[in-house]
Amino acid sequence: MDVVVFESLYGNTAAIARAIAAGLGEGARALTTSDATPDVVRSAHLVVAGAPVHGLGPPSERSRASARAKPQGELRLEADLGHVSMRAWLDTLPRGPRLAAAFDTRVRGPLGHGAATAIAHALAADGLTLLDEPRGFTVHLHTSSSQPGALLGVGELDAARAWGARLRALAAAA
């Protein structure tokens, strides 16, 4: 089984994770950090992990608290903080010889290295083999419109599906 594990406060990273899982194909599942338990991870061949960029890295307890305090946009979208953060999930990651890849969602371009690079480092530190460069997907923030707090950029779901298919091919060749 292949798993795509995500942290997502407003649903964008979750949507990208599901598209990556669709690109990976049969047997791949997108899972929250709560559902991706150590036992599930141990049974996985490929582990893809992603989170939103908060202040040039994965969300911290502080940035999650700040998101909780400030509903986004005119819809006053509330952050979903019902699952552990990607940072906390990475702390419980079982070590082992599995394949891996990391991604993030971000508003700005590749200023700094975003969350994906930090996630990739953590995966590699736990003995997983990275298949590809860390990958960022773009969202747009709508703070003064009727749109939700963040929306995926045009074409990003297609790009995520294509990246999933690329990871499948890289995993087969590894």
Ligand X SMILES: Cc1cc2nc3c(=O)[nH]c(=O)nc-3n(C[C@H](O)[C@H](O)[C@H](O)COP(=O)(O)O)c2cc1C
Distance from C-alpha of 171 to C-alpha of 140, rounded to nearest angstrom: 31
Q: Does 150 bind ligand X (CB under 6 A)?
A: yes
CB 86 within 8 A of CB 51: yes
Q: Tokens 């499948």 correspond to what residue?
A: 168
Distance from C-alpha of 1 to C-alpha of 93, rounded to nearest angstrom: 16
CB 33 within 8 A of CB 84: yes
Q: Does 83 bind ligand X (CB under 6 A)?
A: no
Per CB under 6 A, the segment of 10-18, 30-38, 89-97, 153-161 that binds ligand X is 10-18
Residue whose CB is less far from ligand X, 16 or 167: 16
Q: What is the crossing angle of helices 12-24 and 156-173, to 10°?
A: 40
Q: Does 12 bind ligand X (CB under 6 A)?
A: yes
CB of 73 to ligand X, least distance (A): 11
Choose, by CB under 6 A, the member of 32, 63, 129, 147 that binds ligand X: 63
CB 160 within 8 A of CB 30: no
Residue whose CB is less far from ligand X, 70 or 95: 70
30 to 59: interface string for ligand X, x by CB under 6 A: ----------------------xxxxx---
Provide Rg for the chain, Cα atoms: 15
Which residues contact ligand X (rule: CB under 6 A)?
8-13, 52-56, 63, 66-67, 105-108, 139, 150
